[in-house]
């Protein structure tokens, strides 16, 4: 009889990287849910299975949606479990899967390299083990810097040194991992005008949403005498440009739409700070310094667009990613100009990347639509439109927020039924891993060996 370790090694070798990723992620969430159900994790009695599963999924998927008050309900042990899930989810379950493959095979095969390449790089030039070390090093350095800056603000009004240190570490990790969990009942509303807190968290969120490849490249080339925009890869230039456009345009539109609403009564500098911070946090972070439950319809629609796009590939953020949105936008411009290829920055984007972006957005739309339909059925039943005014927008907002792993809510999360909570749990899970990874993981390993004859159809 073979030793158990050899049996597990054989099982791992038989799994595709995508399927291994899926199973590892499920195992992490299940373990987290079990730990959160323990009496030692809660101050108000053991959590129910659904609430524990929802919270563990939200943390592991770095979403931030919560059916409970984290600070009031969870004990230090429970908060520690939550923070561990956030950190693991932020680094990416891909890291854990790669470690399993490395331990079983001693190296990562060709298929494994493709998965690592898609999550952490755009070219297969780096060895996976080197990528893992770089990811961990970058994460620790940035989170430590953020914690030190936050500590300088939290310590003066904190009851103890340890409490201030815990607040600083928790919010630094939550921000960099784009999780959005906060240890304050009003999220970060009390720090609406605090430049240090808002600036530090914005830096962490933006850095965490850029992607490790972009951070590494910026770190290596943004030095005196080495700075030249043309020297950066197309991926980095596209990510930085798209992110800057979304952040600035989102902040300006937020300022315009909410000038006399949630920003009313604030000074001009505070209005600008609050609008910019919300534009940043909509990139899948989930913190809020303004009340989304009373925002204008235009602001909410803008928010859903930004949440759906999300951050960049290989980052802690969710959504369909900035490069996907940019590629589709550039494809539209190319078609309008009659160009046969999609190009930007004197480079041509491969046709397979354009096709992948199209498929990803289509699958994302299907997931959000199905999730919203389930929520409409479970939360409103047969209520007519006139009886449930405003509820449709709230549930659609919730679906997009869950799929984009953002964590913002219009206040309906704690009121969801059991079916609604399970639906949001599934949306967070699919949104974090990505529809395409889910499809690959559950699909057949053998591709069809034939195709049917072509026949043209009319489009438009």
Q: What tokens were used for 263?
A: 């920003």
Instruction: Report whether pLDDT(275) > 90.
Output: yes
pLDDT band at 448 (very low <50, low <70, confident <90, very high): low
Query: What is the average per-residue pLDDT within 414-442?
Result: 82
Alpha-carbon distance 182 to 187, whole Å?
5
**Residue 3: per-residue pLDDT:** 54
Please report the sign of the dihedral spanned by the C-alpha atoms of residue 174, residue 33, residue 397, residue 291: negative
Average pLDDT of the residues of the chain: 82
Q: What are 348's strand-pairing partners?
A: 343
Cα 410-413-418 angle, rounded to 5 deg: 150
pLDDT band at 402 (very low <50, low <70, confident <90, very high): very high
Instruction: Report whether pLDDT(355) > 90.
Output: no
Q: What is the DSSP string of 383-439?
A: --TTTSTTHHHHHHHHHHHHHTT----SS-GGG--HHHHHHHHHHHHHHHH-HHHHH
Instruction: Report whether pLDDT(359) > 70.
Output: yes
**Residue 129: per-residue pLDDT:** 65
Alpha-carbon distance 422 to 378, whole Å?
11
Alpha-carbon distance 339 to 346, whole Å?
14
Q: What is the pLDDT of residues 222-267, one digit of tens each?
A: 666 666 767 778 888 899 999 999 999 999 999 999 999 989 888 9
Alpha-carbon distance 453 to 419, whole Å?
44
Instruction: Report whether pLDDT(114) > 70.
Output: no
**Residue 93: per-residue pLDDT:** 56
Range name among 30-44, 87-101, 199-213, 269-283 with the lowest pLDDT average: 87-101
pLDDT band at 82 (very low <50, low <70, confident <90, very high): very high
Q: What tokens were used for 229?
A: 């925009």
**Residue 104: per-residue pLDDT:** 45
Instruction: Report whether pLDDT(22) > 90.
Output: no
Alpha-carbon distance 360 to 380, whole Å?
30
């Amino acid at each position: 009889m073979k030793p158990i370790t050899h049996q597990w090694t054989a099982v791992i070798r038989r799994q595709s990287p995508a399927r291994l990723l899926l199973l590892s992620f499920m195992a992490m969430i299940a373990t987290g849910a079990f730990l959160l159900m323990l009496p030692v994790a809660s101050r108000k009695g053991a959590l129910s299975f659904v609430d524990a599963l929802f919270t563990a999924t939200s943390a592991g998927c770095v979403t931030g949606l919560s059916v409970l008050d984290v600070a009031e309900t969870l004990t230090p042990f429970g908060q520690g479990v939550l923070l561990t899930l956030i950190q693991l989810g932020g680094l990416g379950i891909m890291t854990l899967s790669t470690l399993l493959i490395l331990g079983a095979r001693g190296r990562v095969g060709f298929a494994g390299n493709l998965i690592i390449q898609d999550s952490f790089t755009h070219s297969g030039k780096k060895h996976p083990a080197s990528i893992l070390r770089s990811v961990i090093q970058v994460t620790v350095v940035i989170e430590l810097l953020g914690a030190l800056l936050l500590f300088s603000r939290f310590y003066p009004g904190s009851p103890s040194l340890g409490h201030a240190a815990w607040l600083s570490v928790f919010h630094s990790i939550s921000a960099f991992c784009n999780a959005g969990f906060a240890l304050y009942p009003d999220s970060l509303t009390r720090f609406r005008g605090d430049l240090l807190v808002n600036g530090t968290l914005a830096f962490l969120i933006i850095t965490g949403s850029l992607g490790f490849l972009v951070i590494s490249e910026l770190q290596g080339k943004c030095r005196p005498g080495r700075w030249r925009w043309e020297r950066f890869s197309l991926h980095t230039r596209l990510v930085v440009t798209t992110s800057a456009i979304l952040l600035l345009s989102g902040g300006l539109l937020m300022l315009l739409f909410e000038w006399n609403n949630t920003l009313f009564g604030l000074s001009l500098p505070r209005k600008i700070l609050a609008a910019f911070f919300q534009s940043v946090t909509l990139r899948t972070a989930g913190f809020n310094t303004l009340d989304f439950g009373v925002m204008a319809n235009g602001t909410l629609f803008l928010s859903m667009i930004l949440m759906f796009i999300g951050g960049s590939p290989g980052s802690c953020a969710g959504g369909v990613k900035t490069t996907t949105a940019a590629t589709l936008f550039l494809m539209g411009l190319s078609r309008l100009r009659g160009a046969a290829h999609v190009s930007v920055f004197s480079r041509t984007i491969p046709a397979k990347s354009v096709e992948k972006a199209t498929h990803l957005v289509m699958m994302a739309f299907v997931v959000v639509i199905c999730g919203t339909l389930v929520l409409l059925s479970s939360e409103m039943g047969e209520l007519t439109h006139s009886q449930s005014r405003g509820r449709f927008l709230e549930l659609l907002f919730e679906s997009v927020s869950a799929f984009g792993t953002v964590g913002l809510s219009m206040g309906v999360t704690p009121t969801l039924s059991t079916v609604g909570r399970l639906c949001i749990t599934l949306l967070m899970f699919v949104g974090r891993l990505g529809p395409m990874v889910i499809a690959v993981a559950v699909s057949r390993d053998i591709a069809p060996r034939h195709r049917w004859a072509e026949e043209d159809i009319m489009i438009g």
